Each structure stands twice: as C-alpha cells, then as structure tokens.
A and B are shown apart, each in its own frame.
Chain A
Amino acid sequence: MKQLLDQVVMEAGKIIVGKEHTLRLALTCLLANGHLLIEDLPGVGKTTLAHTLARLLGLQYQRIQFTSDLLPADIIGVSVYHRGEESFQFHPGPVFTQLLLADEINRATPKAQSALLEAMEERQVTIDGSTRSLPQPFFVIATQNPAHQIGTFPLPESQLDRFLMRLHIGYPDARAERVLLNGEDRRSLLEQLDPCLDLEQLRALQQQVARVHVSDALLDYIQALLKFSRNSPRFNHGLSPRAGLALINSARAWALQAGHPQVLPEDVQTVLSATVAHRLHSGSDTGVREGAGLAQFLLESVPLP
C-alpha cells in the first residue's frame, strides 16, 4: 500500500515540482476522507495540484470558478421547465462529481459559499424538496487567495471548520522553479498522466486508515494538545472535539502513508499545522492570520505525556 501511495506522490511530483511534503499532506487529507482547502497566492499551482490529484486517483473531476456573481444554482444545478414534457427537469450542477475543485472560493458571496459548504458537510443536496445524494467518494478541494487580497469574502470560522486541512503551497525553491520554467507546459503533462489508483483501491485505503492503531498514550497526547489550546491565553478559543477527531484521522492517514503500523506523536505533529492552523485564532485578535505560528506554538508547548 505504501508503495502505491509513494507512486502517487512520485507521479504527482513530476507535475508539482519540489512540493513532496505538501503533496503527501494533500493525499493524507483525501485518504482521511476530508476536504482540503489550499490557500495561497494566485499562480503557485493550487489548481494544478487539485487537478493532478483528481487524475492520479482516477476520480471524476469538475471545476467551478467562484466569482462574486456566482449563484447557488450554478453549483448544485437547476430545474428547467420542459415544454414538450410539460414538467420540470433537473439539470445537475458541477457539484455532482467525485472531486470538485472550487477555485477561489473566497471570491464568491457567502450565499454561494454556503451552498457548497452544505453539500460538503451533508454529502447530499436538496433541490425543490427532493434530496439527491452526491457521488461516492466526494471530495472538495477549494482554493482561496489570502484574505488581504482585494475583493474577497473570507470564509467564516464555522465554514473553515468543515475543511479537514488547510495547506499552503508556497513558492518553489530555485531548482524546482528552474525545472518549471524550463520544462513542458503543465497542462499538457497533465493530459498524459495515467491514474495510479482505482475507486476500489481508494476505498480499501480509506478503510485501512480507520484501522491504524491509536494507543492510549497517543490519545493522552492529543487530549493534552486540546486541553492546552483551551486553557492557554494565547488562543482566542480552544480546539473543538471535531478538531480533535480531525487530528486523529489525519494522523492515522499520515501514519498509513508513512508506513507506520501505529500512530506516533510525530505523525500528529506532522499534520498538526495543516489540521489546526485554520481553526485557531490568536487571543489578541489582530485580524492577521497567524494560524501556522499558533500551531507551532501549540506543538512546542505541549510535552509528550
């Protein structure tokens, strides 16, 4: 299994050059059956990353470009009156897919945002009184620009919480950038990419994630982390039990793809920043997103029990 996952990462690494760790985290997020939020500047490869993962995992793929005039119907679909049949017929929107890329999600109005986020949480949509299930599996990879960019509607905390992880990609290092600048067009490379996994394998992997052993000692550690975040004045509010679950699930998925038979504190620490940074706020709220720093502070403040 580990080889399979390593292969996915290797293949993806041909397109997203020099970002192996980020790729592994993104993969971890999908293995843990969670949604992924990628926050970074435009042009660092957010969309490409999402697209690459979709190709490699062999998933149906749809993309919505969020804009300020996007309507919920543009996401979930619309019922149209057919004259000939004298009835309404539902035209499914782009949300009916296995992997949805929601590009620049914070450029849309809260109304459109919440339509998507509801679908993410429930894994089904309700239109005109009838409930329609979304395909299985259903992942959302959303990208957003940093909050200080012009014309953004930042996601509220409650909605950020729906994402298992938030990742930053960051600029590539010099060598990777050289490869990028020198190499072929990424789009055409993507077209040549073959899927490494099929649906069955993905499902088996997800089941395996749930079986990775978590010992009492590790639960003690996670509880210590949660407790510290709730008691320390550095944080505006502590981590929720959902955050704790997110932490355990991500750590399990990470342990699986790192080849550990059990979850180690290091696995938790590796996924900690990605999992909790978007859920933490500084106690002295300056409005600046300083989640990563807070996560690091949390990590270094809590001793292993």
Chain B
Amino acid sequence: MTPNELGRRPLLALSLITLLLVAPHFARLDLRISLAFIAIILLRLTTLYLPRLHPGRWLLLGITLAGAALIFTLYPLLMGLPAKVALLALMLGLKLMECRRRRDLYVVVFLGYFTLSTHFLFDQGMLLVAYVCVLVIGLSGLLIEASRATSRPGWPLHSLRFAAGLTAQALPIMLVLFFLFPRIEGPLWNLGVDNSIGKTGLSDSITLGSISQLIRSRAVAFRVDFDQTIPPPRLRYWRGPVLWHSDGRRWSRGRLMEPGPVTYRSDADPVGYQVTLEPSPNDWLYALDLPETLPVGATLSADYQISAKNVRNRRYRYVASSRLAYHTGALSERQRRLGLQLPDTITPRMRALVAGWRAGTGGDAQLVSRALQFFRSEPFYYTLNPPLLGTNPVDQFLFDSRRGFCEHYATSFTLLMRLAGIPARVVTGYQGGQRNPLGNYLIVRQSDAHAWSEVWLAESGWTRIDPTAAVAPERIERSFEFDLDENADPGVPVIFASADSDLLRGMMQQFRLGLDAANASWHRWILGYSRQQQQSLLQLLGFGSLSEFKLALAMVLATAALLPLLLLLLRRRDRIRPDPVQGDYVKFCHRLARRGLVRQPHEGPRDFARRVIRQRPDLQRQVSAIVNLYIALRYGPSDDPQQRRRLHQLVRGFRA
C-alpha cells in the first residue's frame, strides 16, 4: 500500500459522514433518489469489507449513467433546486465509490463542504445551523486525520479537537463578516424553491369549513412582542381581511374598499408592538383592533385592513400600534350599501326570526343583544367537526344542525343583522394567542384563526360582536387547548380541557415554548438581520451610516484587527502548561523561600535539597521525601496519579 492509498478507516468515516451530509436533503428529494443514494453508500460500506464486490470501471459507469437517467426522468430539464441537489447527492455518492487515494478523499471532503452549504437554500433554522457546524467539524477532522503522515490507532479525537479549534478560531472573523458585510436587500434565497413556506394562512374569503381546516394546524402564524404589557385575551383580536359580500355560501371582500384618509376617535392609550409574520401567501398584515400607526410602506383601507407590498412568502417583521377602544364615527353611504347586501338564500324562517326580535326590542343595540341571547339560549354547540350542510347552509345551521364554530356563528350572525337592517360585516383574523413566558412574547398560531362580526351602531360606530363568545366563551377567554381529533364524529362538541392538568404534558409544553423562544430570537436577530438593523448597529458603535464601500473597508480592517488577537491566543496556547507536579514543587519552593531558603532559578531539585538540608538539618526527612517524589514524577519514566496525589499532600502538609 503506498502512503497515498486510503485505508479502511478513513473510507468508513468518509462514507458515514457523506450519508450524514446528504441526510437533511432526503425530505426534499424524491424518495427514489434518496433510496439510490443510500444504496450507493451501503454498497460502499459493503465493499470495504468484501473488496471483491467492488464494481468495476464499466459497471460503475453504468450505475452513473443510470443515476443520471433517473434524475432526468424525475426532474426534466433539471428544473428547480431539488433537481440540482439530487444530482449533487448522487454524484457525491458515486465519487465515493472511486475513492482510493488521499487526493480523492480531498475531493469528496470539499464537495461535502459545498453540499453542506446547499442546505441553507432550503432552511436556515437554528437546528440546521447546529447540525451543519457539527458536520463541518467532522469534515475538517477527517481532512486533518487524512493529512497525517502516520495514522494513530483509536478514535481520532485529537483531529476532531483540532478541527473544532480551527472552527472556533474562525468564529470571530465569521462574526465580523456577518455583521459588517453589506446586506443584500430582498430575499436572498428567493430562488423559487421555498415550497415549504406560505402554505397555510387565512385567505381573503371564507366558505364554511375553511377555517376549521386551518384551525387544525399548530403552525405559527406570527409572533408579537409588546412594548408594554400584553392585553388580556378578550381584547386580542388580530384583524385580517374584512368580508363584505356574501353569496349565501361564500363570503368575500367584494369590491375592495378604496384607501383614503381613515379616522376614528379614541380615548384609549395606544398599544405598541412588533409583529414577526411567518411566510404566508398573502399581502396583508395583522394588527390589533384598531390599528393606528402602520408599518412603513403599508396602507390602511377604509375598513381598517392593512395591506403591504413585498410581504408575500417571506418572514416579515413590522412595527405597529393600535387603540383597543374606539369610535369610528359616521357611516358612509357606500359602506351602508355594502353592509346591508343580502344573498338570495334568505328563507322565510330567517325573516320571521329577525322580525320577531325587531318587534320585541327598541334600538339596534338591544336587537344585537337579543340575537346574542338567541345563540346563548338555544342549543348551539361549538365543534370543529360540523355536520355537512346542504344547499342553504345558513338556514340549516340556524334552525337544524346548530353545530359549528366561529365562521358559522360569525357569518350567520352577520346575515341576521343585515336582515334586521343593521349594517354588518365579517372580519377574519386571529384571536388570542399564547404568551410565551420565556421571552415574554405572544405566539399566534394558525389554530387561533378566527372570524367575528362587526355591526354599525349609531352610538358606537363599527362595533365588534363575537357570537362565538356567546356560545363558547372559553374559546375567547383563553387560548384553547384541545385534541384536534381528526376522527371525531361530526358534531361532537369540543371539550375545553385544562391545559396544565398533566405534568408530562406541562413539561412538553414548557419545552415547546422554550424551543419557540430560541427560534424566535434566532429569526429576529440572525436571519432577520437586515440593512436597517446593520445601520442601527453601526450607529450604536458610533460609525453612523456607512456606504457600502466603507462598510467593506471596515470589514477588512476589523478582520485585520482580529488577527493579532488570534496570534496572541495562539501564543498563549503554546506556552508550557503548568503541570500539577511542577505546581506543587513551586509551592514547596515558595514555602522554603519564606524561610530564606531561596532556590536559584537554575538550581536543580537535588542540589537545592542538599543545600536546604545542609542549612536546616531538621527538615531532612520531609524535604528528601518531597524532592525524591518530585524527581521521580517530573524526570522519571512513570507517571502515577497516586504518587502525584501523595506529593500534593506532602507539599500541603509541609511547614518550614
């Protein structure tokens, strides 16, 4: 075997690390590609022990061509990133097959570094970064181990430690580059691959059942940091699309309200907060009822809906403030007309119901409470599995099935109000949210999606009415935790369980919250580190605003300034580490020095002991015991920990 030929051990390590390198891609690749890759790795591992199974050159060429053919059939024209990743993964595995010499190992390791960077095209989460860091250390350790002239037996811990040290040394420079590199505006990774994001979220219309699908998702919709205290759950209505138009089954925004000067009166103090919106396919933002100051670049429509450009499919962070009590003032003619629109599915029983209420009450406000009374007293149930409704769902829901959830209640209530001549509309959004005590912010999940109703009353303007609260106040008063049981029978009422009843569940919950808090900070400070944040950081450091050229210059200078620091660190490490034996001996010499018996710096232990004993014959026994032990430990061939401890005890007990 020539020195450049690879042994079994590095090849085994290389194969395993290659498997780990590609592993996170498995979820994104076609199953067949993943299986082919694993098969190649397994073949490689088998041939390590049974070399005669190693495919010949021509067979290998055949396998390569077959792999390429597979990729081209699965991903025609190699469109999209997964195709390229598939190609990279398969070829990496095949390169492993022809890995014989040290040079081949270098090629695979460098390909491995490249493969690692491809993970960030799909995911930039904290866990992935940690995983990549571990693998970088592993790869570097492999590289170091393979570059050794002679390999040592046993685990190559030394190489790994060395690699970890190298990675740690790169850290300061990495930080400088991260904080000072001119930030590229816009989504850097927007390469048409983010198929994992923006799948869920509210849409700008609802049909009965659309929210109940959403509500089953535990995915996070957005997170909110409040400037002051978090408002109570019954005030946490996150306003989304406002729906005006109903065709009996489907509610939609209808003809969008024109943006214009929007005003309302309020005596309440403004509540400021920052929202970090998870990627969604929509172009509107959420704010507490009713928004006052808007994020930069956003507009407010006449029905208090915030829309913004360039917020689709990216994590978006914005600052807003709201006032939680308000009076919207007079109603425009256009809004009155839209707010009274009725579909052609109104049945006589509905008209009769409303007429009955109207007859028994005076003003609009009384009528609203009468309607809520209706929902409260009649046997309505809150369920996520409502029975299927036929051609006229509102009528059926109100008089027959009486099982539904927020969207059923909100839409039917709104229709009834319109029947009574009160302008009304459906508002969708999120309600509530869970406070994360670790980090003190609010997590709003898709399961918090909600729909409620707004009616226009002369005395208070547009007024939020939540009929769901009349049926299931628990839904509003607290973030609800219940088993989202897919298989529950239609119409089974939801039991609102106490969330912290179980210890284990409480711990799980705690763990989830902790993870979420860490992830939120990660997104906020690392991934969300934008040009603005960079500028404010620079301002904080006293640089003011820097042009990109100056920024690059600062980057270079800061890196250059780091180098002497690293050198200093290296020098420190090179210094002879104080050996415990030597430490004890130095202490012993110290104690003698206090009695005037100073050891010359160049004086050997035996000479010194002889001199000490000559001057202080009374110390002979102790001194010779200590010095003999010291000589044996420091200059002798054996290194016995027990003897070391004995020396330590002797020195501790030594009094001159």
Residues of A within 8 A of B (CB): 213, 215, 217-218, 220, 261-266, 269, 299-305
Beyond A220-B576, A305-B576, is A263–B635 a contact (Cβ under 8 Å)? yes
- Which residues in B have their C-beta under 8 angstroms from that of A301? 602
B112-120, B123-131, B355-363, B604-612 - interface stretch = B604-612
Please tell me if the beta carbons of A304 and B635 are within 8 angstroms of each other in the complex.
Answer: no
B contact residues, total (Cβ < 8 Å)? 17
Tell me the nearest residue of chain A to B610, going by C-beta: A266
- Which residues in A have their C-beta under 8 angstroms from that of B601? 303-304
Q: Given A217, A300, A302, A303, which contacts B634 in the complex, CB threshold below 8 Å? A: A217
Please tell me if the beta carbons of B636 and A262 are within 8 angstroms of each other in the complex.
Answer: yes
Please tell me if the beta carbons of A266 and B607 are within 8 angstroms of each other in the complex.
Answer: yes
- Chain B 335-371, CB-CB to A under 8 Å as 1, else 0, gives 0000000000000000000000000000000000000
Q: Given A215, A261, A262, A304, which contacts B604 in the complex, CB threshold below 8 Å? A: A304
Q: Is B603 an interface residue (CB 8 A)?
A: yes
Residues of B within 8 A of A (CB): 576, 579, 582, 600-607, 631-632, 634-637
Q: From residue A195, how far is it (CB to closest CB) to chain B in Å?
A: 32
Tell me the nearest residue of chain B to A263, going by C-beta: B635
Beyond A220-B576, A266-B607, A305-B576, is A215–B602 a contact (Cβ under 8 Å)? no
Please tell me if the beta carbons of A302 and B602 are within 8 angstroms of each other in the complex.
Answer: yes
- Which residues in A have their C-beta under 8 angstroms from that of B605? 264-266
Please tell me if the beta carbons of A300 and B602 are within 8 angstroms of each other in the complex.
Answer: yes
* 16 A-B residue pairs with CB within 8 Å: A215-B635, A215-B637, A220-B576, A262-B632, A262-B637, A263-B635, A264-B605, A264-B606, A265-B604, A265-B605, A266-B606, A266-B607, A301-B602, A303-B601, A304-B601, A304-B604
Q: From residue A141, how far is it (CB to closest CB) to chain B in Å?
A: 29
Please tell me if the beta carbons of B637 and A299 are within 8 angstroms of each other in the complex.
Answer: no
Tell me the nearest residue of chain B to A300, going by C-beta: B602
Please tell me if the beta carbons of B602 and A269 are within 8 angstroms of each other in the complex.
Answer: yes
How far apart sit A215 and B636, CA to CA, in the bound complex (Å)?
A: 6
Tell me the nearest residue of chain A to B631, going by C-beta: A264
- Which residues in A have their C-beta under 8 angstroms from that of B576? 220, 305
- Which residues in B have their C-beta under 8 angstroms from that of A300? 600, 602
Which of A213, A217, A300, A302 has the most CB atoms of chain B within a 10 A radius of its CB?
A217
How far apart sit A305 and B637, CA to CA, in the bound complex (Å)?
A: 18
- Which residues in B have their C-beta under 8 angstroms from that of A302? 602
Tell me the nearest residue of chain A to B582, going by C-beta: A217
Tell me the nearest residue of chain A to B601, going by C-beta: A303
Please tell me if the beta carbons of A213 and B636 are within 8 angstroms of each other in the complex.
Answer: yes
Which of B579, B602, B605, B606 has the most CB atoms of chain A within a 10 A radius of its CB?
B602
- Which residues in B have their C-beta under 8 angstroms from that of A220? 576
- Which residues in A have their C-beta under 8 angstroms from that of B600? 300
Tell me the nearest residue of chain A to B600, going by C-beta: A300
- Which residues in A have their C-beta under 8 angstroms from that of B631? 262, 264
A262-B632, A266-B606, A299-B602 given; name 11 further pairs at CB < 8 Å: A213-B637, A215-B636, A217-B634, A262-B635, A263-B635, A264-B635, A266-B605, A269-B604, A301-B602, A304-B604, A305-B576
- Which residues in A have their C-beta under 8 angstroms from that of B582? 217
Q: From residue B577, how far is it (CB to closest CB) to chain A in Å?
A: 11
How far apart sit A217 and B634, CA to CA, in the bound complex (Å)?
A: 7
How far apart sit A264 and B603, CA to CA, in the bound complex (Å)?
A: 11
How far apart sit A299 and B604, CA to CA, in the bound complex (Å)?
A: 11
- Which residues in B have their C-beta under 8 angstroms from that of A264? 604-606, 631, 635
How far apart sit A217 and B633, CA to CA, in the bound complex (Å)?
A: 10
How far apart sit A304 and B607, CA to CA, in the bound complex (Å)?
A: 12
- Which residues in A have their C-beta under 8 angstroms from that of B634? 215, 217
Q: From residue A149, how far is it (CB to closest CB) to chain B in Å?
A: 34
Q: From residue B383, how far is it (CB to closest CB) to chain A in Å?
A: 78
Q: From residue A299, how far is it (CB to closest CB) to chain B in Å?
A: 6
Top 3 A-B residue pairs of the complex, sorted by shortest distance between their CB atoms: A303-B601, A266-B604, A265-B604
- Which residues in B have their C-beta under 8 angstroms from that of A261? 636
How far apart sit A220 and B601, CA to CA, in the bound complex (Å)?
A: 15
Q: From residue A76, how far is it (CB to closest CB) to chain B in Å?
A: 43
- Which residues in B have their C-beta under 8 angstroms from that of A269? 602, 604, 607
Which of B579, B582, B601, B634 has the most CB atoms of chain A within a 10 A radius of its CB?
B634
- Which residues in B have their C-beta under 8 angstroms from that of A266? 604-607
How far apart sit A222 and B120, CA to CA, in the bound complex (Å)?
A: 53
- Which residues in A have their C-beta under 8 angstroms from that of B632? 262
How far apart sit A56 and B576, CA to CA, in the bound complex (Å)?
A: 46
Which of A261, A263, A304 has the most CB atoms of chain B within a 10 A radius of its CB?
A304
Q: From residue A297, how far is it (CB to closest CB) to chain B in Å?
A: 11
